[in-house]
A and B are shown apart, each in its own frame.
Chain A
Amino acid sequence: MSIRTIADISPAELPEHAARLLADGHRLALISARQDTGGFALAYLFVAGRPDRRTELRLRVPSEQPAVPSLAGLSFPAGRFEREIRDLYGITPLDHPLPRRLVRHHHWPRGWYPMRTDAGPPPSFGDPEGPYPFVTVEGQGVYEIPVGPVHAGLIEPGHFRFSVVGETIIKLKARLWFVHKGIEKLFEGRHPADGLELAERVSGDTGVGHALAYCLAVEEATQVPVSAQAQRARAVLLELERLYNHVTDLGALCNDVAFSILHAHTGRIREQLLRLNAEVTGHRLLRGGVRLGGAHLKALPDPDRLHAIGADVAEIAELALRHSVVADRFTGTAVLSGEAARDLGTLGYVARASGLDLDARRDHPFTDLGDFTPARRTSGDVLARFQIRAEEIAASIALITQLIDEPTAAADPPPPEGSSSGVGLVEGWRGTIAHRIELAPDGTLIRVKVVDPSFFNWPALPVALNSAIVPDFPLVNKSFNLSYAGNDL
């Protein structure tokens, strides 16, 4: 099962190795740092699909003036991970093209690195940075619209600064990172079994996705075998989570163009799905279903009910797209080109709507899903993201039916080879979730790195919105529907 190859390298060798892996079709899944006696250990995880390949580059830097060569020129996400690590650990990326703070809150004191072992309790907020350095767009008729971080409605905090001429967006700056909870730090020192409930709560709507990625990582590190039956049950839970979230968002997209009758009906279907979730796991948001070493289902979902729901959703999607005004609002709105989606390293339905062929269910399978082909569109607009999600609902129902109906033919896989660290890659409903854990010799967690696909997808939103109009922003934002909590850990 363990297909992870690990190479210990020196910092100077990093760019060369990374360039080779990226050229070989890998993408950077995460960079994880850890402080130990005498320095920092960094792990760069590169992954590629078909066949599933995971390569980890490990290197050490000293604790005095820690620095690594920057990979920002090779990979855009790498540049963002490096800024994250710089803000949390104080490891400087050398020759970084955009060495601004990322995670570090505006009001944190300078030089305080919360993930270091000697960080201590959170300091009181100050104002070391002065006003936030928004780039001002100059020119005749340009004005700014500041929105947030407190919004109308139940939305997480994020500040959006639009520079606008008339109604056309010239530049959008999304200022996030208002919700740092120190969740990665909370994992430290816990027993793996006690970390599960934390992982389940990384992002409220992705309980199964994060719990499963965490469990896969822990199971690889502790060499716990998981029966094929349990893995299939986990796959069912993952698809159930995708179902209720996709249905909700299809309705929300219709609501954003004031077509609220479909929103009301998706609300009805969402409630049916949540009740189904409660029957399957005892929790409406599927918490407690994924366990370390297995899964716990009270009952299997009834395929007939799911098929009825699928027909209902298909009708709603068709009604929406046959409505000329709705179709007009969706079509051609906020196009994210395939090239931009690839360069920014986007994941999930955002990537697939722009023509990228990425899906961890096929690229990094933890159970055999047979001949699974992810939905894909190339237009990259709101319409494509809407259609992808409608298609994924149908695909999820087909997958659940297949997982329930087919007898478990596969033999239980052998236990993973242990290495005191482990990686879990799971296609959550937003995209590929990556967890990487490291265990101390006594079996407790010393480092858990969590990456929600929102971390990769947030930079794509302003790119897609370039030259869109202001009143379309809520619709476009909903079509991406990125997590703030999963992004800012």
Chain B
Amino acid sequence: MSGVVGAVLQVIVIAVGSPLLVGVMRQVRARLEGRAGAGIAQPWRDLRKLMRKEAIAPHGTGWVFRAAPPLLAGTALVVAAVVPLVTTASPLDGVADLFAVTALLALGSVALALAALDTGTAFGGMGASREMTVLALVEPTILVSIFALSIRVGSTSLGSIVTATVEDPLSVISPVSVLAAVALAIVTIAETGRIPVDNPSTHLELTMIHEAMVLEYAGPDLALIEWASAMRLSVLLGLLASLFFPLGISGASTGALALLVSVIALVVKVTLMGALLAAGEVFMAKLRLFRVPELLAGSFLLALLAVAASFFLA
């Protein structure tokens, strides 16, 4: 029972909290750069504004264009329900292991890329092509690096991997974990379109990756995409925290108080990681586009080494 409640809770926390996380990250960045910042609730205010506008679709676009935002948001919500964030005992855990989670994330990205192509604009095609280049290197890295962690447990279920870490926290301190953590951190940055791979705050169309794909969206559709992007960022940061620092996460049978503690732990962990990421971004510049595959190939290599190490050091 607590598994169901936990799963519902983490979906709610992610859905409500993700825009606030983006707000916190922007605020951290603004303060570090000596600017006042717009406040942490600004992303929610933006979403409210966008929701009130009428839906507009460009001429010549079809169902692919209209289906992408709900699909992106839907996959993000399902991933939020599956991934062990508040509880390791999500009722969906049995049917959605790490391969399913990666595939769900990829499904959202591909839907958006197809929608970008559907617009027929040069920017849509350009953004889609760049996103696919990044995605082709990101998805295998997520798979392989979590796979490295799953070898120790003998299961590809994310719940089992995290449960094993909860039971033996010191097992995290191993070369396998370090390699996998670095690889996952890099691909999280790439997947969520942060500096140095992409710049979420730029207005320069020609440099965009993620933003170039969504240029043609407006109103509620754009709100859905922004919201889903924020959720993907939160989920990936939460997954990173759960895999390597599962402190406070609830098990199969825990009370209401423990679940509340888990929620607070999740919020604190994800906020801290988000703030850390934002602070790191202040000191980073964006890589030349052709250097991005080098970075991602490096992270894939780390993930591969993590798998190799998990066999040799097991």
Q: Are A146 and B285 in contact (CB-based, < 8 A)?
A: no
Q: Are B206 and A470 in contact (CB-based, < 8 A)?
A: yes
Binds B, one of A4-12, A254-262, A398-406, A440-448: A254-262
Q: How far is the CB of A14 from chain B (nearest CB, A)?
A: 43
Task: Say whether B34 faces chain A, with CB atoms less than 8 Å apart.
Answer: yes
In whole angstroms, what is the CA distance A257 to B285 when docked?
6
Task: Say whether B288 faces chain A, with CB atoms less than 8 Å apart.
Answer: yes
**Which residues does chain A contribute within 8 Å of B283, judged by CB atoms?**
261
**Which residues does chain B contribute within 8 Å of A258, judged by CB atoms?**
195-196, 199, 202, 284-286
Task: Say whether B151 faces chain A, with CB atoms less than 8 Å apart.
Answer: no
Q: Show the binding face of B for A, using Cβ within 8 Å.
A: 29, 32-35, 122-123, 125-126, 195-196, 199, 201-207, 282-291
In whole angstroms, what is the CA distance A143 to B128 when docked?
14
Task: Say whether A469 faces chain B, with CB atoms less than 8 Å apart.
Answer: yes
Q: How far is the CB of B26 from chain A (nearest CB, A)?
A: 11
With A261-B33, A325-B285, A328-B291 already in contact, the answer to whether A474 and B196 are too (CB < 8 A) is no
Q: Are A473 and B206 in contact (CB-based, < 8 A)?
A: yes
What's the interface size class on A, roughly?
20 to 34
In whole angstroms, what is the CA distance A146 to B123 when docked?
9
In whole angstroms, what is the CA distance A185 to B58 when docked?
42
Task: Say whether A74 faces chain B, with CB atoms less than 8 Å apart.
Answer: no
Q: Are B195 and A145 in contact (CB-based, < 8 A)?
A: no
Q: Are B126 and A470 in contact (CB-based, < 8 A)?
A: yes
Q: Are A325 and B204 in contact (CB-based, < 8 A)?
A: no
Q: Are B285 and A326 in contact (CB-based, < 8 A)?
A: yes
What secondary structure prevails in chain B residues at the interface with A? Answer: loop
Q: Are A143 and B289 in contact (CB-based, < 8 A)?
A: no
CB-contact partner of A147 in B206, B287, B288, B291, under 8 A: B206
**Which residues does chain A contribute within 8 Å of B285, judged by CB atoms?**
254, 257-259, 323, 325-326, 329
In whole angstroms, what is the CA distance A287 to B283 when docked?
38
Q: Are A328 and B288 in contact (CB-based, < 8 A)?
A: yes
Give the residue name and chain of the A residue nearest to B197 (CB). A258
In whole angstroms, what is the CA distance A471 to B205 when docked?
9
Give the residue name and chain of the A residue nearest to B194 (CB). A258
In whole angstroms, what is the CA distance A144 to B122 when docked?
7
**Which residues does chain B contribute within 8 Å of A143, judged by CB atoms?**
122, 125
Q: Show the binding face of A for B, using Cβ within 8 Å.
A: 143-147, 151-153, 167, 254, 256-261, 264-265, 268, 323, 325-326, 328-329, 469-474
Give the residue name and chain of the B residue nearest to A155 (CB). B203
Give the residue name and chain of the A residue nearest to B289 (CB). A471
Q: How far is the CB of A407 from chain B (nearest CB, A)?
A: 41
Q: How far is the CB of A65 from chain B (nearest CB, A)?
A: 44
In whole angstroms, what is the CA distance A264 to B30 when docked?
9
Q: Are A146 and B286 in contact (CB-based, < 8 A)?
A: no
Q: How far is the CB of A444 from chain B (nearest CB, A)?
A: 45
**Which residues does chain B contribute within 8 Å of A144, judged by CB atoms?**
122
Q: How far is the CB of A99 from chain B (nearest CB, A)?
A: 31
CB-contact partner of A471 in B34, B125, B195, B207, under 8 A: B207
Q: Are A474 and B206 in contact (CB-based, < 8 A)?
A: yes
Q: Are A469 and B290 in contact (CB-based, < 8 A)?
A: yes
Known contacts A470-B206, A474-B207; can you find 8 more A-B pairs with CB under 8 A?
Answer: A145-B206, A153-B204, A256-B207, A257-B286, A260-B282, A264-B34, A265-B33, A325-B196
Q: Are B286 and A325 in contact (CB-based, < 8 A)?
A: yes
In whole angstroms, what is the CA distance A143 to B124 when docked?
13
Q: Are B203 and A152 in contact (CB-based, < 8 A)?
A: yes
With A258-B195, A264-B33, A323-B285 already in contact, the answer to whether A145 and B207 are too (CB < 8 A) is no
A-B contact pairs, 28 of them (CB 8 A): A144-B122, A145-B122, A145-B123, A145-B206, A147-B206, A153-B203, A256-B204, A257-B286, A258-B286, A259-B284, A259-B286, A260-B33, A261-B33, A261-B282, A264-B33, A268-B34, A323-B285, A325-B196, A325-B284, A325-B285, A326-B285, A328-B287, A470-B126, A471-B207, A471-B288, A472-B288, A473-B206, A474-B204
